Amino acid sequence: MKKLLNDPQNVVRESLAGFAAAHADLIRVCFDPVYVVRADAPVSGKVGVISGGGSGHEPMHGGFVGRGMLDAACPGQVFTSPTPNQMEAASSAVEGGAGVLQIVKNFTGDIMNFEMAAELCQARGIEGQAVIVNDDVAVEDSLYTAGRRGVGTTVLAEKICGAAAERGYDLSRVAAVGRKVIGKGRSMGMALSPCTVPAAGKPSFVLGQNEMEMGIGIHGEPGRERMPLSKAREVTAYMAETILADLPFRTGDRVIAMVNGMGATPLMELYLVNGELERILAARQIAVVRRLVGNYITSLEMAGCSITLLQADDELLSLWDEPVRTPALRWGI
Amino acid sequence: MKKLLNDPQNVVRESLAGFAAAHADLIRVCFDPVYVVRADAPVSGKVGVISGGGSGHEPMHGGFVGRGMLDAACPGQVFTSPTPNQMEAASSAVEGGAGVLQIVKNFTGDIMNFEMAAELCQARGIEGQAVIVNDDVAVEDSLYTAGRRGVGTTVLAEKICGAAAERGYDLSRVAAVGRKVIGKGRSMGMALSPCTVPAAGKPSFVLGQNEMEMGIGIHGEPGRERMPLSKAREVTAYMAETILADLPFRTGDRVIAMVNGMGATPLMELYLVNGELERILAARQIAVVRRLVGNYITSLEMAGCSITLLQADDELLSLWDEPVRTPALRWGI
């Protein structure tokens, strides 16, 4: 295992310490229990938007804490759900009198712990709702999930729900916006190489020199099929066609598109995939009206990429365009 | 070689096509000859700021084209200098009547080609100046360089010169600001793993399972020493102490710090290194007043990181804080 760390058991806390030092103008990190929170939390009268999940997917979620996006994020150990008491503490820290929305990726541990946290919050009088992201079209059930996994659409849901909360929407309306995003967003990923959880010390799976895994999960869990390595054109078409057929997306649709790197993929390759994707969508007269290309939801140093498409309407686009100021996503301010 | 590409010979052009599609609001890409230019170029009355170099270091330089930073960037083939006619065409495209500043990294090919471009521009009546970035403290001469290599300080010079030009400084003053940045900036990098140039198809060097290369160049060229893998604390201290002793930086200094990923390093590890760096600087009472943590000047999918420190004064900080709007760096607008 070749990594820049000190003690594999302490990598999350040490990384968060460096994250806190880097972005003290935007966020604070609490260490007992561990969560990342907006520097100005709680914002009075605003719905608090929180998320969380295992670490190792950075910048998600901590990198999306800040004005116009998340109020707090709860990082678990690497690829391990955070605990209910982290989520309860984060909820309390962001509760400004308008309730708290949880954005939860559909993984069994996350769902269970966010539900327990919601009960703890309810007992303390914090009103709450949850939206469950389950956008991965690759497989129906998987190693850590009943139903579809929650992946790239989470990034878009956090941006759009964050903007809705910032605009002053009430809790039900922010949750409704979140459910709309989840209903209209679809993703799929692939890997060229595995990743190594620091505490495990060895790769979580093995791929041959001429193999790739299509439909991989963000923890390296198996995907849809292991295939011979092929060209970016074919890889992109495979993912795009699977995504497009699923919703389905149709001629005339407007979409927000994300081409996301899994961690070790050069930007040069991500842009090349974006070019392929745009060609496929243009041929179907689907208009890409907003884009993200880069590392947003990663799997440590896995090489590969994922594609997310969100069928967008005027409301979602208008919320997308609202200013955002977080460590990893920033525009307008 | 496992990469997301179609034809290894065509990776730069195909990637630029996807880059152009992704950021049509900010930049245009010309393909004959190849350069990236601000969508609104030329800006009348403003000094044009251009840079360029081999591809494979993305987001540098094309990702830094936009308001408040570069007016144009010339990408060569992977790890290969762009040609004089690319630079001449880019200079013509951004010339708004106030001359053009070239920001050149100190590599033999780049220097030669930018000088030839300057002569071509002069013959066409375009006033020009050049600043040469040579901030790498690792080695004195190297495989592709006489004198020190130009690395991370390039990113800071492009931001700060871009802001100076946007403010309306004349050519001599923008160049003077650039020389000040170069005089006060120092960098060093290290690698945990090599990278593979697509057209070569195999790694440019080999590192053992327990080895790292300290002082590596951004093309995988050898560094200062090959050492046994050690902890992030020791790796960071090695780089930071070498940088600090070189200028030298002193108690009471204010610095802009960049912890930069080489391409395949998880953000989790970069933030951990940032935490170590901030601890070292705090102990010496050197104040980190601005920061970048992420992938800014990469070497394809190399794993590792670099540190850049810039001794900043009020002028440089004020220029740093000016709004910037590029694909890879954006704040304030």
Each domain of chain A, given as residue ranges in start order, spans 10-184+322-326, 185-313
Residues of A marked as catalytic: 57, 219
Residues B89/B41, Cβ–Cβ less than 8 Å: no
With contact defined as beta carbons under 8 Å apart, do A72 and A35 qualify? yes
Task: Tell me which chain A residue has its CA closest to the CA of residue B11.
Answer: A272
Would you call A265 an interface residue with chain B, using a CB distance cutoff of 8 Å? yes
Stretch B102-106: mean pLDDT = 98
CB contact under 8 A, A21 and B275: yes
Task: Flag if A271 and B3 touch (Cβ within 8 Å).
Answer: no
- pLDDT score at B11: 98
Contact A275 B14 (CB under 8 A): yes
Residue that the structure tokens 């992109």 belong to: A236
**Shortest Cα distance from B124 to chain A (angstroms)?**
33
ipTM value, please give it: 0.98
Interface-testing mutation among A268, A293, A320, A330, with chain B (most B C-beta atoms within 10 A): A268
> What sign does the CA torsion over A66, A71, A77, A80 have?
negative
3-class SS at A95? Answer: coil
pLDDT the model gives residue B98: 98
Nearest by CB to B232, from A4, A55, A333: name it.
A4
Q: Which residue of A has its CA nearest to B325?
A: A331
Cis peptide before B194 (omega within 30 of 0): no
Contact list in B for residue A18 (CB cut-off 8 A) is 270-278, 293
Q: Which residue has the higher pLDDT, B143 or B310?
A: B310
**pLDDT given for residue B144 in this prediction:** 85
pTM for the complete prediction?
A: 0.98
Residue closest to A139 by CA, chosen among A80, A218, A66: A218
CA–CA distance, A66 with A324 (Å, rounded to integer)? 7
Q: How far apart are CA B70 and CA A108, in angstroms?
A: 47
Say what the pLDDT of residue B143 is. Answer: 83
Span B103-118, average pLDDT: 97
For residue range B21-31, what is the model confidence (pLDDT) as tens digits? 999 999 999 99
Q: CA distances (Å), B77 to each of A256, B13, B62, B74, B82, in order?
A: 31, 9, 13, 10, 7
Give the burial string for A224-252 (b: 16+ CB within 10 Å, else e). bebbebeebbebbbbbbebbbebbebeee
A27-31 and A34-38 as β-strands: parallel, antiparallel, unpaired? antiparallel
B11 has a chain A CB within 8 A of its CB:
yes
Nearest CB neighbour to B2, from listed A15, A229, A273 = A229
Name which of B14, B21, B278 is nearest A18 (Cβ-Cβ): B278
Predicted local distance difference test score (pLDDT) of residue B142: 84
Closest CA of chain B from A149, distance in Å: 22
List, as own/partner pairs, every contact residues A112-115 make where C-beta atoms lie below 8 angstroms and the sequence separation is at least 24, other chains included.
Answer: A112/A81, A113/A81, A113/A82, A113/A83, A113/A84, A113/A87, A114/A52, A114/A84, A114/A87
pLDDT of residue A87: 98
Digits of tens for pLDDT over chain A (333 positions)? Answer: 999 999 999 999 999 999 999 999 999 999 999 999 999 999 999 999 999 999 999 999 999 999 999 999 999 999 999 999 999 999 999 999 999 999 999 999 999 999 999 999 999 999 999 999 999 999 988 888 889 999 999 999 999 999 999 999 999 999 999 999 999 999 999 999 999 999 999 998 999 999 999 999 999 888 999 999 999 999 999 999 999 999 999 999 999 999 999 999 999 999 999 999 999 999 999 999 999 999 999 999 999 999 999 999 999 999 999 999 999 999 999
Lowest mean pLDDT among A220-229, B46-55, B73-82: A220-229
CB of B63 less than 8 A from some CB of A = yes
List the single residue in B with minimal CA-CA distance to A195. Answer: B266
Please say if the pLDDT value at position B179 is more than 90: yes
- Point out the residue among A3, A192, A231 whose CB comes nearest to the CB of B2: A192
Chain B 267-296, residues with CB within 8 Å of chain A CB atoms: 267-278, 288, 291, 293, 295
pLDDT of residue B304: 98
Nearest to A58 among B235, B268, B333 (CB): B268
- Cα distances (Å, whole numbers) of residue A332 to A26, A77, A326: 15, 33, 11
Inter-chain touch B269–A22, beta carbons under 8 Å: no
Binned at pLDDT 50, 70 and 90, residue B222 comes out as confident
pLDDT of residue A309: 98
Mutate to test the interface with A, among B210, B272, B302, B331 (most CBs of A within 10 A): B272
Q: Which of B276, B151, B287 is nearest to B219 (CA)?
A: B151
CA distance A46 to chain B (A): 24
Residues in A touching B274 (Cβ below 8 Å) = 18-19, 21-22
d(CA A179, CA A103) in angstroms, rounded, equals 10
Across B117-137, average pLDDT: 97
Residue corresponding to tokens 């495990």: A200
- Is A267 close to B229, i.e. CB distance below 8 A? no
Q: State the pairing for strand pair B324-325/B330-331.
A: antiparallel
CB-based contacts of B6, cutoff 8 Å, min separation 6 = A231, A232, A233, A272, B14
Residue A143 confidence (pLDDT): 83
Tokens standing for B292? 């970048």
A208 class by beta-carbon count within 10 Å (0-12 exposed, 13-18 middle, 19+ buried)? exposed
DSSP string, B40-78: T-S-TTSPEEEEEEEESSTTTTGGGBSBTSBSEEEEEEE
Average pLDDT over residues B70-97: 98
Give the span between the Cα atoms of A192 and A211, in whole angstroms.
Answer: 7
Q: From the candidates A272, A306, A331, which should be mutated to test the interface with B, based on the most B CB atoms within 10 A?
A: A272
Please name the member of A63, A266, A278 whose beta carbon is closest to the beta carbon of B263: A266
Structure tokens at A171: 């809790």
- Per CATH, the homologous superfamily of domain B10-184+322-326 is Dihydroxyacetone kinase; domain 1 (3.40.50.10440)
Contact with chain B for residue A306, Cβ under 8 A: no
User: Which residues in chain B are closer than 8 Å to A12, comparing Cβ atoms?
Assistant: 268
Number of alpha carbons in the 13 Å side-chain half-sphere of residue B216: 30
C-beta atoms of A19 and B276 within 8 A: no
Strands A100-105 and A72-78 turn out to be unpaired
Whether chain B has a CB inside 8 Å of the CB on A323: the answer is no
Among A4, A232, A273, select the one facing B272 at the smallest CB separation: A4
- What chain B residue is nearest to A229 in terms of C-alpha separation? B2
When computed from its CA atoms, the radius of gyration of chain B, rounded to whole angstroms, is 19
Polymer length of chain B: 333
Q: Does A209 touch chain B (CB under 8 A)?
A: yes
Residue B128: the pLDDT is 97
**Residue in B23, B38, B57, B180 annotated catalytic:** B57
CB contact under 8 A, B12 and A278: no
The residue-averaged pLDDT of B185-209 equals: 96
Q: Under CATH, which number does the domain B185-313 receive? A: 3.30.1180.20
CB contact under 8 A, B3 and A192: yes
- Residue B201: CB atoms within 10 A of its CB come to 10
Count the residues in chain A. 333
Q: What is the DSSP letter of A149?
A: P
Chain B positions in Cβ-Cβ contact with residue A267 (cut-off 8 Å)? 58-59, 63, 295, 298
Helix (H) or strand (E) run with residue A185 in it: strand A185-193
* Three-state secondary structure call for residue B100: strand
Q: Is the CB of A333 inside 8 Å of chain B's CB atoms?
A: yes
**Residue A196 has what DSSP assignment?**
B
Helix ranges restricted to H, chain A: 11-22, 84-94, 108-123, 153-167, 171-184, 232-246, 267-283, 314-320
Antiparallel, parallel or unpaired: β B48-55 and B34-38:
unpaired
Amino acid, res. A168 = G
